[in-house]
Amino acid sequence: MTYIWYLIALVLLVIPFSAMMFLPIKRSKPVLLGFFLIFIVFMYGPMLTMGVLSFQGPFGSMTLPAKDLGSLHWFTELRAESSLMVGVRDGITKSLWVSLVVAAITAALSLSLGMAFRRQFRGGGILFYAILLSLMTPGLLLSLGLSFLLYYIGFNKGEGMLGYVPIIGVQAVWALPFGFLVMMSVFNRYDARAEEAARDLGASSFTTFREVTLPLIWTGVFGAGLFGFTLALNEFERTFLISGAINTLPLKLYIITSSSVLRPYVYSLGVVTIIISFLLIGVFLLVSAITGRKKALAIEEDGSGVEDIPSMTAAASGD
């Protein structure tokens, strides 16, 4: 059976490359479109199935066909006072708290690194690749290494606030490269002449940053924080071996799926998590739209008609 899945994966890889290489552009478009639709179904099909099964009645099962659709029974089950549901809600609370802290750390460090990399400095190349190193480090290996380090230094992984330090640290290390790349893209299109004009008018460095720089780039800072929040909310591998007695939501779900009989409330919990993620994306898009609208109004009132924003490199070189 395993070989059949390998064969299917190979066919799915060969089809788009063959279409691009051997078919004319007009004939390859339907093939590539079909391949893209298969990819969409493969990506979002499990979420849709989970959503359907979460609306079953009390006698619903974990597999299709769904039974008694249209019920909110398993969503109300999440509010039960059983020890299992109390533990799940506690895991949600801990995950949200950790995610907020990781989001703040990611946003602050990404902003600092983005500001630093606006100009070349000694060791910048080494630091750049060191930041991106966590993207290539397997999560479980990072968790294992940090677990050994905590053991040898005598760190007690407990339930108190100190027990959250390694969890927040390892998740911030994982989220930082994403936020850093967001800020690099923002500063690559940043117009440094606005800062120069503020300094020419006598503004200090702090005032220039607060009144000029930050208002122009704060959507990027918000996006970096959003990366940190969403990655931390769903993180399992990097917290598996260092969490101690602290069970975040992914760890709690792992315990449930490995030690108890599964019921459709797991699907309801997954739907709630997806809704939270989509709400965050919606907030980011709303904030970006409002900020873009304010910038457009400011340009119209100024009457400058600036459309082309010079890159950071061009601005620094004086072009």
| DSSP per residue, 17-76 | HHHHHHS-HHHHHHHHHHHHHHHHHHHHHHHHHHHHHHT--TT--SSSSP-STT--HHHH
pLDDT of residue 305: 44
- The C-alpha atoms of residue 315 and residue 311 are separated, in whole angstroms, by 6
pLDDT above 50: residue 304? no
CA neighbor of 318 nearest in space, from 195, 173, 193, 228 = 193
**Six token digits for residue 38:** 């298969």
Worst-scoring range by mean pLDDT, 93-107, 248-262, 284-298?
284-298
- 102 touches 228 (CB < 8 A): yes
pLDDT of residue 142: 84
Worst-scoring range by mean pLDDT, 21-25, 119-123, 225-229?
21-25
Residue of 19 and 122 predicted with greater confidence: 122
Worst-scoring range by mean pLDDT, 168-177, 178-187, 248-257, 308-317?
308-317
pLDDT of residue 177: 93
pLDDT above 80: residue 300? no
Alpha helices by DSSP H, the chain = 2-22, 25-54, 73-77, 83-116, 124-136, 139-152, 164-188, 193-200, 205-208, 214-233, 249-259, 265-302, 312-317
Mean pLDDT, residues 236-253: 85
- The C-alpha atoms of residue 174 and residue 140 are separated, in whole angstroms, by 12
180 pLDDT band, cuts 50/70/90, is very high
What is residue 262's DSSP assignment?
-
- The C-alpha atoms of residue 29 and residue 12 are separated, in whole angstroms, by 16
Mean pLDDT, residues 118-145: 86
**Six token digits for residue 200:** 């020419």
pLDDT above 80: residue 298? no
- The C-alpha atoms of residue 316 and residue 120 are separated, in whole angstroms, by 11
Mean pLDDT, residues 34-47: 84
What percentage of the chain reaches a pLDDT higher than 90? 13
pLDDT above 90: residue 103? yes
CA neighbor of 167 nearest in space, from 180, 182, 150 = 150
pLDDT of residue 159: 64
Each domain of the chain, given as residue ranges in start order, spans 1-44, 91-317
Mean pLDDT, residues 79-106: 89
How many angstroms separate the Cα of 101 from the Cα of each of 134, 216, 278? 19, 24, 20
pLDDT of residue 309: 41
pLDDT of residue 308: 45
| pTM of the model as a whole | 0.79
Residue of 8 and 148 predicted with greater confidence: 148
43 pLDDT band, cuts 50/70/90, is confident
What percentage of the chain reaches a pLDDT higher than 70? 91
Cβ of 228: how many Cβ atoms within 10 Å?
Answer: 29
**Amino acid at site 91:** G
Query: Class of the 91-317 domain?
Result: mainly alpha
pLDDT of residue 63: 79
241 pLDDT band, cuts 50/70/90, is confident
How many angstroms separate the Cα of 79 from the Cα of each of 87, 91, 251, 265, 274? 11, 13, 19, 11, 18
299 pLDDT band, cuts 50/70/90, is low
Largest CA distance in the chain: 73
pLDDT of residue 319: 41
306 pLDDT band, cuts 50/70/90, is very low
Mean pLDDT, residues 117-128: 87
